Structure 1
Amino acid sequence: MNIPDISSGIGVLDKAAVILGALAAGPATLAGLVSATGLARPTAHRLATALERHRLVGRDLHGRFVLGPRLAELSAAAGEDLLLTAAGPVLTSLRDTTGESAQLYRRQGEVRICVAAAERTSGLRDIVPVGSTLPMKAGSAAQVLLAWEDPERYHHGLQGARFTATALSGVRRRGWAQSIGEREPGMASVSAPVRDPAHRVVAALTVTGPIQRLTRNPGARLAQAAIDAAERLTEAIRHR
């Protein structure tokens, strides 16, 4: 594919922008970057590794190039991330409605990152500080972030996971996930997907608390509240 005509007159920046644009579609090998950008292989490798040094590009467990965490940090700092802007009041409302802690997770390669949270102010709770990195192998948020993935990432994600393909089929059918002691003993959670205008899942909104309060069927109490809150965030993105 030819490089799009986005010339700024500074060639190296234009080519770096093309690489970042290609990675927005998902992880890519070096060969994949060359195919997607039209750049020469040495050029694509040199720029991708330079962007990696600045954390604008990262690597997944397969060594493929992915968008790096610095992009999310810059977006939030610039106030341009409408999802995070909208997340604060939605999470606070969800916490107040349910009486439990609420978090928002995004996937970054083989982990998920807590990008916003509203913690319960008292009593037993599951405190997940913003910026925390958690595995994609356990928890209702991990289920939501994996359930609608493309086949390759989906099947890879199931390897070593504490949930099964049958469980994820149920997540897709219901539109929400629950976990009981998957990530941390004694804790339960319910998550629902947040989607972008193209209907892709871009985040998981989660409500967490101790099993003694949420019971061993937390979805019965919290699923609708989580779905409603996730839909409000989806609408915030859709109407940007």
Structure 2
Amino acid sequence: MNAPPDVLGRAAILLRAISARERGSATTAELARATGIARPTAHRLLTALMTQGFVDRDPDGRWLLGPELYLLGTAAAARYDVTSLAQPSVRRLAVATGESAFFSVRRGDETVCLLREDGSFPIRSHVLHEGIRFPLGVASAGLAILAYLPATEVDRYLSANDLTVAYGVSHAPDRLRARIADTRRDGYALNPGLIVEGSWGMAAAVFDNRSRPVGALTLTGIESRFTPDRQPKLGRLLLDEAHRLTITAR
């Protein structure tokens, strides 16, 4: 069993939990439930983070990311920011398909959504938004990335993480392995409404100069927009843009 995170680790978990909220804010109770950190401990850590400017609190008592994180992020952007490179691909996908298009990056054993652009089709899927995190293997971006990791890393990851607790039996190892095989065969990943019923997604991995998956481009929408006869067309568009972004980012 992994040791519980130390003070710094728990503070980082709370910051990530705030960033993953669709509204960009959360109450102490919400953060305690989301992270498994006891409410008094969460409140004490958040208060300490606020004194350093890493979080802020609105008049309704909701915690938000603070100005110091913006300043640190600005300083780090020159080294890590790839959103400017990904934005044209995300926009082209949204325009060409009418669906919502996204760019996510891998951070450890998770994916983090960084960009979103909605297409012209009026009905949206709201599973993804900027800042949301999913474990690898969950949602189409996480599946696309997991599928192209070395087999030994996939085995180690699936052995160490029980995704069924949060995401149900559809994310049991045998079912994930079957979807990994499908992804490798097709080149793109398909999420047939496994997180929210009726909300589908497709994704293609983006690679670094060592041919390791570091991110993914995604399209999401309602089930009727991802029919079997349309999936290959969407998949080709995703693969083309993912290849273009892979080459551009190197």
- The normalised TM-score by structure 1 is 0.63
Task: Determine whether 1:138 maps to 2:142.
Answer: no
Q: 2:192 aligns with which of 168, 176, 180?
A: 180
Q: Could you give the per-residue CA deviations for residues 76-132 of structure 1, whole angstroms, max 9, x where no partner exists?
A: 863443532211111001110111111112233443211111122551012432112
Aligned counterpart in structure 1 of residue 207 of structure 2, from 195, 205, 210:
195
Give the corresponding residue for 1:148.
Answer: 148
In the TM superposition, 1:7-86 aligns within 5 A as 52=9, 55=12, 74=73, 78-81=77-80, 83-86=82-85
Aligned length: 182
Cα distance in 1 for residues equivalent to 2:232 and 2:196: 20
Task: State the alpha-carbon separation in 1 of the partners of residues 94 and 117 from structure 2.
Answer: 6
Counterpart in the other structure of 1:169: 181
Give the 5 Å matches for 1:226-237: 226-237=238-249
Q: Are the counterparts in 2 of residues 158 and 164 from structure 1 also a CA contact under 8 Å? A: no
* AA aligned opposite 2:139: G
Q: Deviations over 1:37-73 (max 9, x none)?
A: xxxxxxxxxxx968758849x99x9xxxxxxxx7xx7
TM superposition shift of 1:139: 2.1
Indicate the percent of aligned positions where both proteins have the same amino acid: 27
**Shift, 1:224, TM fit:** 0.2
Q: What letter corresponds to residue 133 of structure 2 in structure 1?
A: T
Pair 107,81 (structure 1): closer, same or farther in 2 beyond 3 Å: closer
**Distance change >3 Å, CA 217–CA 208, structure 1 → 2:** farther
Structure 1: runs of 5 or more not aligned? 1-28, 31-47, 62-69
Per-residue CA deviations over 1:156-190 (Å, capped at 9, x if unaligned) read 45753164212202212322111211121111111
Aligned to 2:125: 126
- The 3 A distance-change label for structure 1 pair 189 and 90 is same
- 1:33 matched residue in structure 2: none
Query: In 2, Cα distance between the equivalents of 1:80 and 1:88?
Result: 17
- Native 8 Å contact 1:139 1:189 kept in 2: yes
Residues 1:222 and 1:138: Cα distance change in structure 2 (over 3 Å): same
SS at 2:138 equivalent: coil
Whole-angstrom CA distance in 2 between matches of 1:154 and 1:167: 13
Bigger fraction of residues in helix: 2
CA contact (8 A) 1:189 1:209 kept: yes
What aligned pairs does 1:206-221 form with structure 2 within 5 A after superposition? 206-215=218-227, 219-221=231-233
Residue 93 of structure 1 corresponds to which residue in structure 2? 92
Deviation at 1:134, TM superposition (A): 3.1
Structure 1 CA distance for aligned equivalents of residues 238 and 217 of structure 2: 7
Distance in 1, Cα, partners of 2:11 & 2:103: 25
Q: Which residue of 2 aligns with 1:205?
A: 217
Structure 2 counterpart of 1:11: none
Gaps of 5+ in 2: 17-34, 36-68, 165-170
**4+ residue runs of structure 1 moved beyond 4 angstroms?**
48-56
C-alpha distance in 2 between matches for 1:216 and 1:81? 37
CA shift in 2, pair 1:78/1:139, >3 Å? closer
Query: Would you say the 8 A contact 1:140–1:189 is kept in 2?
Result: yes
> Secondary structure of the equivalent of 2:204?
strand
